Amino acid sequence: MADKARTIQLKNIGIIGAGQMGSGIAHVCALAGYDVLLADLTSDKIESGLATVNGNLARQVASEKITEEQRKAAIDHLSAAEGLQDLASCDLVIEAATENEAIKRKIYAELCPLLNPEALLATNTSSISITKLASSTDRAERFIGIHFMNPVPLMKLVELVRGIATEDDTFETARAFVTSLDKTVAVSEDFPAFMVNRILLPMINEAIYTLYEGVGSVDAIDTAMRLGANHPMGPLQLADFIGLDTCLSIMQVLHDGLADSKYRPCPLLVKYVEAGWLGRKSGRGFYDYRGDEPVPTR
């Protein structure tokens, strides 16, 4: 009979990627009392990520979600990593790099030889196979998907995804870790885009088809879904918030992985990405964000 799974004690958390997701994960980990090292390609990116955390913590104090003491304690738990070698002492490293399999594999190739053999490695991928990513590491048994939702400090859900080789100890440790961040775990099987994005992205893609085919304007489609389906924001506004390049990447993973024509990315989505109109982060997407108020671009 197999031994009962044990939970491994975590103290030091490394995060690779200081963008929107990485800085959000750093925020919630530091607030929960973990020592956090934030790594990225340049010190400028790390400083920008840390500044984002600082600003978001200040907003939480202003809205009385946390105290000033909690904010100061969280800042004390946060540090910049000068390189991947600084993550050698971490008990868990979470990769939150861009949604590109080749980039993630390159990071693991550099990182794995530096880590303690017992250290756990997680990915925040929103769509790529955990089993496939784990196979490019030296620790498939200690590799897991911990998929946070954006914006991380506000969203309660985390999808936990184990690969075919993920050990029970790794899974139970990851579950306890997510719970310690005051998040709710939803366990997903390792299929393309997991649960949330498998349901959400085809809806967004269908909204783009509805625009592409002239059924409704940007404003009409978003108003219809906000007021007709009680969604907090319209699907095209949400696509801009996620990033149209990320939306396209997830649809491509679904289309390639499940070989079903219903997941074919809308040609208009492809065109916007080719134009560099990626949504909020680039200033233009289905809305133009360069003025005082967002204006529909179609």
Active site residues: 126, 147, 159, 197
DSSP 8-state assignment for residue 51: H
Distances (CA, A) of 106 to 41, 124, 137, 203, 249: 13, 15, 10, 32, 18
What phi, psi does 9 have (nearest 5°)? -75, 125
Residue whose tokens read 């990071």: 107
CA distance 46 to 195: 30
CA distance 142 to 285: 39
Q: Which two tokens stand for residue 256?
A: 């390639």
- Identify whether the C-beta of residue 236 lies closer than 8 Å to the C-beta of residue 228: no
Nearest CA among 220, 204, 223 for reference residue 279:
204
- Identify whether the C-beta of residue 94 lies closer than 8 Å to the C-beta of residue 119: no
